[in-house]
């Protein structure tokens, strides 16, 4: 490592020590400082690790966390970005703050879709793992085909990397690539001939633009797809969900390739995330029984169904950032058999996407059938959220502009549990307040 890089890494590490030691923060600023001093500092870590890059719209943080738990059953030194800070500065932070591995380590990096090409410039991954692609932050990413093109720029820089992709997403099989490919998906339902609802991402075939059909649909535009016009169809699965035995708001029991696993987070979308983690771990040589043990021991992942006890109330924090994310979370919440309250926190800073129009596509109205006694909308863009709920026909919706005050407001709810569905910035604000009151450990910038 050059003198310039050594200084940059040292300053980055020092800034992390200060931020983490005093404020319990530091997931991206240390990397930003290091990159200011040496824009190519990442290049100096390329020989210390084998690399896995996890990309896609939703599920990256959960899939990465579960995969790391599984990979640790075989690999003693696994580095990853647990806070989900997945842009170049966040990636730089984990390298400048990590101790040098004694042997070549394994780095499993959740990477923002637009940043994959910036990271592959420095690291040639052994594997890409792709979860799904949906419309997300249109002011930043544009439509999903543009996002896929950005991801492909990075993939084409690493033609020998194996791609482990969600076979149920039609876009991942739409382009010929030299890379070896492994496919995972659901195979637990009888086949029919269905079309997705019109307000669905990717409702047309990515090859010929004919309306795509499905043998079955899992959620959104995911499922056993086929195009009746050009023949584009789901590829043969290498790893599959063969049975969903139980799915609740807290966990699921499923069978992957006929073997039973308990997934420590609820919702069908998290079965996909667990299957992505399972597929990566199997590809990396971890056996099924070790993966099963790893999933059982997986810790909570902050902001992803994170449970916080406040007096006799339980707050469940779930981060969302787009329409399909909200809808899948609502589907998960609706499986809760106990009474619950509901809060939606909306922010529109650059980290969230500054366009809030996506909330009008969310199916909030489906909550009306569940006798929810208390609704709240909040955070900086609470007026937009309140308007959405007003036009959705909700009455008596409470308002709280300051996410930190939810800690007090939760005392007024008539249920033991409140689901807080929140955008990224509001989640940070809420978690910061929770950490200051020693209700959680904190640890986000």
Catalytic residue numbers, as ranges: 355
Map the chain to HEC letters. CCHHHHHHHHHHHHHHHHHHHHHCCCCCHHHHHHHHHCCCHHHHHCCCEEEEEEECCCCHHHHHHHHHHHHCCCCCCEEECCCCCCCHHHHHHHHHHCCCCCCCEEEEEECCHHHHHHHHCCCCCCEEEECCCCCCCHHHHCCHHHHHHHHHHHHCCCCCCEEEEECCCHHHHCCCCCCCEEEEEECCCCCCCEECCCCCCCCECCCCCCECEEEEEEECCEEEEECCCCCCECCCCCEEEEEEEEECCCCEEEEECCEEEEECCCCHHHHHHHHHHHHHHHHCCCCHHHHHHHHHCCCCECCEEEEEEECCEEEEEEECCCHHHHHHHHHHHCCCCCCCEEEEECCCCCCCCCCCHHHHHCCHHHHHHHCCCCEEEECCCHHHHHHHHHHCCCCCCEEECCHHHHHHHHHHCCCCEEEEEECHHHHHHHHHHHHHCCCCCCCCC
């Amino acid at each position: 490592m050059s003198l310039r890089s050594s200084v940059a890494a040292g300053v980055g590490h020092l800034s992390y020590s200060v931020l983490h030691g005093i404020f319990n923060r530091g997931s991206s600023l240390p990397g930003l400082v290091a990159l200011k001093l040496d824009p190519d500092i990442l290049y100096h870590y390329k020989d210390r690790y084998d690399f896995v890059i996890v990309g896609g719209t939703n599920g990256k943080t959960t899939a990465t966390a579960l995969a790391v738990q599984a990979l640790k059953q075989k690999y003693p030194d696994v580095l990853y970005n647990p806070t989900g800070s997945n842009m170049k500065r966040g990636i730089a932070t984990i390298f400048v703050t990590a101790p040098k591995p004694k042997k070549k380590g394994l780095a499993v990096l959740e990477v923002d879709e637009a940043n994959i090409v910036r990271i592959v410039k420095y690291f040639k991954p052994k594997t890409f793992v792709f979860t799904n692609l949906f419309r997300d932050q249109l002011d930043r990413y544009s439509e999903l085909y543009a996002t896929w093109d950005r991801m492909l720029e990075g993939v084409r820089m690493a033609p020998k990397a194996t791609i482990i992709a969600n076979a149920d997403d039609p876009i991942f099989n739409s382009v010929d690539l030299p890379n070896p490919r492994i496919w995972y998906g659901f195979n637990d339902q009888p086949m029919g001939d269905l079309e997705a609802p019109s307000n669905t991402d990717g409702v047309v075939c990515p090859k010929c633009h004919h309306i795509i059909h499905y043998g079955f649909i899992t959620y959104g535009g995911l499922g056993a797809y086929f195009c009746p016009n050009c023949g584009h169809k789901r590829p043969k699965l290498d790893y599959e969900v063969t049975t969903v035995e139980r799915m609740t708001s807290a966990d699921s029991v499923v069978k992957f390739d006929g073997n039973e696993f308990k997934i420590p987070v609820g919702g069908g979308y998290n079965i996909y995330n667990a299957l992505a983690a399972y597929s990566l771990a199997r590809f990396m040589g971890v056996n099924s029984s070790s993966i099963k043990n790893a999933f059982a021991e997986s810790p909570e992942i902050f902001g992803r169904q994170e449970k916080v006890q406040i007096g006799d109330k339980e707050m469940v924090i779930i981060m969302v950032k787009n329409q399909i994310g909200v809808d899948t979370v609502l589907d998960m919440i609706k499986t809760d058999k106990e009474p619950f309250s509901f809060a939606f926190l909306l922010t529109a800073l650059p980290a969230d996407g500054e366009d809030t129009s996506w909330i009008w596509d969310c199916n909030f109205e489906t909550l009306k059938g569940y006798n929810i006694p208390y609704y709240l909308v909040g955070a900086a863009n609470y007026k937009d959220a309140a308007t959405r709920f007003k036009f959705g026909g909700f009455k008596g919706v409470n308002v709280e502009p300051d996410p930190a005050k939810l800690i007090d407001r939760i005392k007024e709810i008539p249920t033991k549990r409140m689901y807080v569905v929140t955008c990224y910035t509001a989640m940070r604000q809420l978690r910061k307040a929770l950490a200051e009151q020693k209700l959680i450990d904190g640890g986000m910038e």
